[in-house]
Amino acid sequence: MKYSINYLSLNNKDLVVNETIFHNANGYIGIRNNFEEAYPSGYNTVRGSYINAFYDFAEMKQAENFYGLANEKQTMLNVADTQGVKLFLGDEQFNLWKGSIISAKRTLDMDCGFTERYIVWRSPMGKEVEIIIRRLTSFVRLPLFLIDYSVKALNFSDNLYFVSVHLGAVMNHANPDDPRLAAESARYIIPGKVHVEETASFITSSTSKSGLKLCTGVDHVIMSGGHFECNSFAEKESAWTEIKIGIKEGEKAGFCKYSVFTDSLRYADCEKSASEELAKAVATGPLEIYREQKEYLDKFWDNAFLKIEGNERLNMALNYNMYQLLQSAGKESKSSVGAKGLSGEGYEGHYFWDTEMYIEPFFNLTVPEISKNLVSFRYSILDEARKNARLLGHKQGALFSWRTIMGKESSGFFPAGSAQYHISGDIAWSIVSYYFASGDYGFIVEKGAEMIFEIARLWIDAGTWYKGQFCIHCVTGPDEYTCMVNNNYYTNLSAKFSLYWAVRFYSLLKDSGDIEALAERIKLCPEELEEFSRAEKAVYLPYDENQKLNPQDDSFLSKKKWDLSATPKEKFPLLLHYHPLHLYRYQVCKQADTVLAHFIFEDAQSEETIRNSFLYYEGITTHDSSLSACIFSIVASKLKLYEKAYKYFGNSAMLDLYDLHNNTKDGIHTANMGGAWMAIVYGFAGLRIKEDGISLAPWIPQKWESLCFRINYRGSRIQLKIEKSRVTIVLLNGAEKEIKVYGKPYTLKDRLEIPVNYSEPA
């Protein structure tokens, strides 16, 4: 599966977008796909290399520094630059802006896991050369970034000269006009020791404030049968290697540049580890590294298979999205998934609720061990969540920070940041969802139950009893155009869910004899469980009797409706053109809020109420967030509003690959990528996984011929193919499963064929 483009246009805008599109990452390291030889002076670029969860602290000034407001934030760092390679054909330097491009192509090979630039170039003096540059970040050897640089002389004989650069002095990208990026460019990485060992160079650096360390190692292996010279040099903050290779007409020559990144978060001695990882990679060689990468991806695609017949452009985009999710997700419990993955510096590498609500659902059903790592990351910062709860005045429980890397809050605007208490409910939902899909009871005993108990404690402390109902005041739901409200429907329902599962897990662990040690460690007593149960049954869920729908919060329906039809297109997104207080006084939603609750917690309301709510919020939601339309599509599918479901699905899956919002240059939209997959699997296929099992209600848009995908459910691999008239469900391997299709129970032993039911809305 390959995505290729010709890039004969060297337009600066296109180049920066393609830095994102073709970036290389493996969940630990991420490298933007900049030209090795760089761009001309004056061109804009975001030249970056990143390590997941590797951060420094940056000042975050508060105009009025009230108690508890964050005055510093974590930020993901641009670390050492090992991309640079300059090529000279004799005395002429390779430069795409000089001479002429005879042929050129840029390719992402998602089966083999590398990107490639293919160029046939004629120099100003007429030398013609074929250049193939492959780049790979290994899914098997996480610290490794490989550049495989090959040159073929087409019409000349001469010496090739390469200058391969290893830069320790780098800075983060900044844009004061974009709230998703840092406002000021800052230098966070301070190179210390720089040294050379034969053809290898090492740079050991420290962060300016966080106390973390990093070592990058670079080595070169020449791939040529002829004479060559290779020498490495070092200075205060950088190193470089000079390579000279004699080449004759028709011959190929080149080298492999091995870069490794090791940090003190994962390695006790990052310098020693860099040396060891580099030596192992060089000894392995490129052929074995390519083979390992292909084997890893063969397994991934076998589990994550998805194919749409009838729209190849969309099919490519969806598979691209799944590949990017794999590239973005942390592969151990020390990291998670940034809002931009490891493709750029948008949102400064922070983790949001995106991971739990939009990304983990994909991994739950394709690569559950990655989901386990992502949920385990939240457990690793549980103590910081406890501290955050105390900072915000709670005597007990855990309140996870809205945006963070290492656990502390990094949101400067608390009405749309710290006030989003629902993130703790989202994490509770992700724990339970992972358990439903995997059946991993051991994880609940080791980590999951403790998090749920602490989240339940938070809700007890955050809530208040009023006229026999349990209420939660002064919070912000997912809709960031409505902040600091009482009884946000989504938040209250997520609290109800958390409290229910605290009681349920306590019962499960007690029955299995696994509760005593945990209860003793966190001082959990039976009286607390009684309080959880009492509050869960009494959680107040706003409901309007006249319109038979759920108001977003207590005051929402009393506000004036925003006239979206009268708002000029250039005024969207609204947050960039209207003061927050102005937005807060209107019925206008940035994204799905109550509608999201009707998907995640669909059993809380009747289908009539869900329909009424959906139709109401449809008229006042801008979808200014890329996380919104996919949720409306899923709920429309549930309500059998097929045309609307397809409309909301729209082009969201193609957002990044085709740069539909003109902001892919800042990095991919990982949550939107997960949301597009959810809109297909949870929407068009109607998949639900709950405590009582798995169910489906499939349909496909009329413009498609078929939809086929695979999921892993509790150790069994299942393939679903939906055609116009029938759905075929195949048990590929694993134990037989009880399954419901259109509400009717079946036993899936081998294969089921069922007519597609395009029933009308109720």
DSSP 204-250: EEEESSS--EEEEEEEEEEE-SS-EEEEEEE-SSEEEEEEEEEE-TT
Distance from chain centroid for Cα 458: 27
Closest C-alpha among 289, 271, 290, 288 to residue 200: 271
640 contact partners, CB below 8 Å, separation of at least 6:
758, 759, 760, 761, 762
Does residue 480 carry a catalytic annotation? yes
Distance CA 549, CA 73 (A): 40
Distance (Å, whole) CA 758 – CA 95: 58
Amino acid in the structure at residue 598: H
Give yes or no for a contact between 215 and 271, defined as CB atoms under 8 angstroms apart.
yes
SS3 456: helix
Determine the residue type at 220.
H
The residues facing 99 across adjacent strands are none
Q: Distances from the Cα of 214 to the Cαs of 205, 344, 407, 594, in angstroms?
A: 5, 19, 20, 44
Distance CA 282, CA 37 (A): 23
Residue whose pair of structure tokens reads 């002095």 in the numeric block: 169
| Measured distance CA(57)–CA(59) in Å, rounded | 7
Spatial distance between the Cα atoms of 741 and 751, rounded to a whole number of angstroms: 13
Angstrom distance (rounded) from CA 552 to CA 422: 14
Terminal-residue alpha carbon distance, the chain: 41
From 328, 345, 347, select the one nearest 337 (Cα to Cα). 328
SS3 291: helix
Residues linked to residue 50 through DSSP beta bridges, in sequence order = 30
Q: What is d(CA 221, CA 278) in angstroms, rounded to the nearest whole number?
A: 12
Asked if 685 and 708 count as a contact pair (C-beta separation under 8 A), the reply is: no
Question: In degrees rounded to 5, what are phi and psi of residue 16?
Answer: -70, -40
3 state SS of 655? coil
Residue of 384, 480, 528, 536 with catalytic role: 480
C-alpha 750/C-alpha 204 separation (Å) is 56
Residue among 383, 373, 299 at smallest CA distance from 333 = 373
* Cis peptide upstream of residue 573 (ω within 30 degrees of 0): yes
Report which DSSP code applies to 50: E
Q: How far apart are CA 87 and CA 133, in angstroms?
A: 12
Instruction: Enumerate the active-site residues.
Output: 480
